[in-house]
Structure 1
Amino acid sequence: MLTLCHPGICRLGEVGRSRAGRPLLLLTVGPETAHERTRDVLVVAGPHANEAAVGGATVLRLAGQIAEACRSGSWDGSTWHFLLCIDPDGAALNEPWLSGPYTLRDHYEHFFRPCAAEQPEWLPHEGAAGSAMLPETRTLVGLLDRLRPVLQCSLHGIDVGGSFVQLTRDVPGVPERIGKSAAELDIPLESGSSDAFQWPSPGPGVYVMPPASDPAAGDGAHSTWAHAERYDGMTAIIEVPMWACDRAADTTPHPDADRALRTAGAALRRDLPAVAEVLARLDPETIGDDGPLLRTVRELVGIGPQLSAEWDPAVRPPGAAPLPEMTTARVTSIEVYAQRIPLRAAAMLRRIAATPAVTALVDSWCEAYETAYRPRWVPVADQVEQQARSVLAVYEELLL
């Protein structure tokens, strides 16, 4: 529709194919000739399969807004490129959830997220076994190399929590902009994200990734986020919640962080083995071939013990970096994470074999999730609005 309404401004093309042969589509908004544009921006939707729906809606919302600006003469010279879904194969496995009802239980009824090696934004480690780049990753890296964007935005989401932005470079003004937008939409800011546990934060809901040489950068050092920097570009990872948890924004000191962290770590080390036990009891014929769901379940139950090593006082290695200030927001993010990971594993195992044992785990853990955090659904329109505003906030403040 956009290409029909805005001929000469919007162009849609295929830039690659997924592992299953689905087209990877790029929507470009701006002038057709390179000499007419001043800079390029790349926006990537659907890097995680369970987050593709809102990101897809956000890119269409942004593309329409920018196309209208071009048509009306208020365009600033940038050409925007929207990769509509970088993992269409994974997104297809989440499609049943999109028709609703929008409850946590129904979300996990149809949940899928691929194992780390099959997520398009992660670059293979040099020399690692099976280190060939995914075709989706190759397409994204090729776009970064060709476009050399001043800004790459990666559109993500979380199930329960708040909105936040991770940046590969500090951009003054962004915390104020996203904070104002979140307040208007009644979405809490994720003010202690476990995804950026040791990253500096210039303001609530904003985190700056350390240099790739710093161990605190974590997986980000081996990602397409960092790849953009070789052309003096930067990346913003934009996260919005499906369900809001107001405790995610509480920056007061937690009353008993040590006990809470130990409890969360113990739960994680208890619950993932519970999934592993159910998996071990299943008939191999029931499990079937080594498909994407099973590969992720096996990965999650296999890496369980190391997931809490960064923050659980019971298992932190000697000489580990000191914990940051443990606010209620930061402890809540860790507690959510400790419940989320086993639930994901159980939910995906249930899609493979809906036995009474695994169904009971999913039912009880979903109920516990809702009881612990009392999450409230964020309307899709508000999720899209917050994500779109965050993209524009980073872009506009970057160019000041």
Structure 2
Amino acid sequence: MPSLTVPPPALTGFPTVDALEAAFLALSERAPHLVRRRILGSSRLGEPIAVYEIGDGPAHAVIAGGVHPNEPIGFHTALALAERLVADKGLRHELDMTFHIVPCIDPDGTRLNEGWFASPSDRGAYGRAFYRPAPDEQVEWSFPLSYKRLHFDRVLPETRALADLFDALEPALFVGLHNAEVGGVYFYVSRDDEALVTELSAIPARHDLPLDNGEPESPDLVRLGDAVFRCPTVAERYDYLEGLGLDPLAEASGGGSADYLQRYGTLIMVAELPYWTHDDVVDDAPSGMPYKRVVQDRAERLRALGGTLTGALSRVDAYVTIPSPMLRGARAFAPLMTALADAEDERARRLDIDRIATRAEVFSNEDSVRSFRLRFGGMLLRALEVECAAGVAHDTVRRECDAFRRVYEEWVAEAVRVPLRPLPLADLVGVQLDAVLAAARAAVTA
């Protein structure tokens, strides 16, 4: 069993794009014989995207932070990994890999989240300053893909830079540094490696963190072990929705890294880590509620959320003048809530009415809607406030902004009444770093 990773204990927030790059530059200047820096490409707003290479082994590992810019735990992990590799010659010799670490693949999107980085324990502040790109503007979901009726070739510059790195290296391992929000720790891997699955399931307990026992992110996921799932692809999600009789294009954007890397047989590992947890996330006791009813309730709440968001957008669409990233995101995610409701409705229709949901399943289904409200409602409110702050807001926009702010404040008040516990960032980083090293060992011994 690998030794327990113990990162620095004084982690209280997340580094900005500038602070992260400064830390990596300082490391490369301290160890120029070990750390090589080069530029992969530029973001849509012209910011250079750097990769830092450590080691000289024949196998290649690509580690990328910021693949979703609202998921910054991996910024700490990327730096901790680089520092560990520089300091530990024995580890470099053991793994015999070349690590290509991209600290932040989406600097533009990350900057739009920096407003909450200093106070990650405050769920209300998180939602209020939250930003997630529209699906076709996300690095993770904008790889080229052609599958059945889905054809996507609007590849972002950031995605193109990462894809070019994949093509040049044909990596043995890729780790996109993701994280979740509420619950326990869970993982994705792209192959059924029993030893790796067992190792991943054991890592959180060594850091006193819970495994997630609630509802998976998607009902079509394949479970490989305790809180470990097979890494999903867009093609698989397409087939699942098609099997429900729904239009897969209602959710589709581009391909994911898992779709793209299938050509190279790359091992993919993702460690999903929550900012907060709750006692119910590990409670397998029966809730007394039929699981079918739990899923139906979630569908109803998602449909109501989609209606609220699309209603507000429809009332201002003729008057907004600033095409901000928040507005583009809100326009994309509002109808997606209704599409998700359709999928859950159809899934519920096919479920056995007699099965009783666990308390963990009830909590995760309910909290997923609270999360979507704070996320996408926060983005819509930010978009309206941008218009007002610029002094170009039509009276309709100003009135809608005031009205929607009251709705959003009610959503925040409901969410913060749920007694969540912030998890120590150092332990979350420790789990992710241990998972990266476990995956690296699996990749070189396969």
Q: Which bracket does the TM-score occupy, shorter chain normalised?
A: 0.7 to 0.9
**Paired residue type of 1:344:** R
How far residue 178 of structure 1 moved from its aligned partner, in angstroms, is 3.3
The residue that corresponds to 1:242 in the other structure is: 275
Distance 1:319 1:180, change over 3 A: closer
Aligned mates of 1:356, 1:134 — CA distance in 2: 35
Please say if residues 275 and 358 of structure 1, whose CA atoms lie closer than 8 Å, have aligned partners that are also in contact.
no
The residue that corresponds to 2:338 in the other structure is: 305
Please say if residues 196 and 207 of structure 1, whose CA atoms lie closer than 8 Å, have aligned partners that are also in contact.
no
Helix, strand or coil for the counterpart of 2:188?
strand
Distance 1:17 1:333, change over 3 A: same
Instruction: Answer yes or no: is 1:147 the counterpart of 2:169.
Output: yes
The residue that corresponds to 1:365 in the other structure is: 411
How far residue 331 of structure 1 moved from its aligned partner, in angstroms, is 4.1
**Paired residue type of 1:24:** I
**Paired residue type of 1:103:** D
Helix, strand or coil for the counterpart of 1:202?
strand
Helix, strand or coil for the counterpart of 2:272?
strand
Of residues 77-86 and 1-10 in structure 1, the stretch that sits farther from structure 2 once superposed is 1-10
The residue that corresponds to 2:363 in the other structure is: 332
Aligned mates of 2:77, 2:203 — CA distance in 1: 15
Helix, strand or coil for the counterpart of 1:40?
strand
Helix, strand or coil for the counterpart of 1:304?
helix
Aligned pair partner of 1:95 in 114, 133, 150: 114
The answer for unaligned runs of 5 or more in structure 2 is 1-25, 242-247, 386-400
Aligned mates of 2:268, 2:353 — CA distance in 1: 27
Of residues 82-91 and 295-304 in structure 1, the stretch that sits farther from structure 2 once superposed is 295-304
**Paired residue type of 1:7:** P
Helix, strand or coil for the counterpart of 1:79?
strand
The residue that corresponds to 1:390 in the other structure is: 435
Of residues 162-171 and 303-312 in structure 1, the stretch that sits farther from structure 2 once superposed is 303-312
Of residues 166-175 and 54-63 in structure 1, the stretch that sits farther from structure 2 once superposed is 166-175
The residue that corresponds to 2:60 in the other structure is: 40
The residue that corresponds to 1:160 in the other structure is: 182
Helix, strand or coil for the counterpart of 1:238?
strand
**How big is each residue's C-alpha offset from its partner over 1:275-306, in whole Å with a ceiling of 9 and x where there is no partner?**
22233334855x33222111111112222222
The residue that corresponds to 2:426 in the other structure is: 381
Please say if residues 220 and 226 of structure 1, whose CA atoms lie closer than 8 Å, have aligned partners that are also in contact.
no
Helix, strand or coil for the counterpart of 2:131?
coil
Distance 1:332 1:398, change over 3 A: farther
Of residues 116-125 and 89-98 in structure 1, the stretch that sits farther from structure 2 once superposed is 116-125
The residue that corresponds to 1:5 in the other structure is: 30
How far residue 101 of structure 1 moved from its aligned partner, in angstroms, is 6.3
Aligned mates of 1:97, 1:323 — CA distance in 2: 43
The residue that corresponds to 2:7 in the other structure is: none
**How big is each residue's C-alpha offset from its partner over 1:349-393, in whole Å with a ceiling of 9 and x where there is no partner?**
111224332222222212222334x22111222221111111112
Aligned mates of 1:295, 1:323 — CA distance in 2: 42
Of residues 265-274 and 330-339 in structure 1, the stretch that sits farther from structure 2 once superposed is 330-339
Helix, strand or coil for the counterpart of 2:204?
helix
Please say if residues 144 and 260 of structure 2, whose CA atoms lie closer than 8 Å, have aligned partners that are also in contact.
no
The residue that corresponds to 1:30 in the other structure is: 55
The residue that corresponds to 2:402 in the other structure is: 356
**Paired residue type of 1:363:** E
The residue that corresponds to 1:203 in the other structure is: 225
Please say if residues 287 and 356 of structure 2, whose CA atoms lie closer than 8 Å, have aligned partners that are also in contact.
no
How far residue 163 of structure 1 moved from its aligned partner, in angstroms, is 1.3
Please say if residues 187 and 244 of structure 1, whose CA atoms lie closer than 8 Å, have aligned partners that are also in contact.
no
Instruction: Answer yes or no: is 1:14 the counterpart of 2:39.
Output: yes
Distance 1:72 1:394, change over 3 A: closer
Which residues in structure 2 correspond to 1:250-329 (within 5 Å)?
A: 250-256=283-289, 257-282=291-316, 285=319, 287-312=320-345, 315-316=346-347, 327-329=358-360
Helix, strand or coil for the counterpart of 1:99?
coil
How far residue 194 of structure 1 moved from its aligned partner, in angstroms, is 3.0
Helix, strand or coil for the counterpart of 1:222?
coil
Aligned mates of 1:380, 1:46 — CA distance in 2: 17
Distance 1:396 1:72, change over 3 A: closer
How far residue 71 of structure 1 moved from its aligned partner, in angstroms, is 7.4
The answer for unaligned runs of 5 or more in structure 1 is 32-36
Helix, strand or coil for the counterpart of 2:212?
coil
Helix, strand or coil for the counterpart of 1:162?
coil
Paired positions, count: 390
Q: CA RMSD in A?
A: 3.0
Helix, strand or coil for the counterpart of 1:27?
strand
Please say if residues 234 and 256 of structure 2, whose CA atoms lie closer than 8 Å, have aligned partners that are also in contact.
no
The residue that corresponds to 1:115 in the other structure is: 134
Of residues 216-225 and 192-201 in structure 1, the stretch that sits farther from structure 2 once superposed is 216-225
How far residue 151 of structure 1 moved from its aligned partner, in angstroms, is 0.8
Distance 1:255 1:395, change over 3 A: farther
Aligned mates of 1:71, 1:185 — CA distance in 2: 23
TM norm structure 1 = 0.87
The residue that corresponds to 2:87 in the other structure is: 68
Aligned mates of 1:221, 1:282 — CA distance in 2: 28
Please say if residues 64 and 102 of structure 2, whose CA atoms lie closer than 8 Å, have aligned partners that are also in contact.
yes
Aligned pair partner of 2:123 in 104, 112, 115: 104
How far residue 15 of structure 1 moved from its aligned partner, in angstroms, is 0.6
Aligned mates of 2:336, 2:354 — CA distance in 1: 22
How far residue 120 of structure 1 moved from its aligned partner, in angstroms, is 0.9
Helix, strand or coil for the counterpart of 2:32?
coil
Aligned pair partner of 1:228 in 245, 252, 261: 261
Please say if residues 292 and 352 of structure 2, whose CA atoms lie closer than 8 Å, have aligned partners that are also in contact.
no
Aligned mates of 1:61, 1:96 — CA distance in 2: 23
Helix, strand or coil for the counterpart of 1:146?
helix
Aligned mates of 1:164, 1:334 — CA distance in 2: 16
Sequence identity percentage: 27
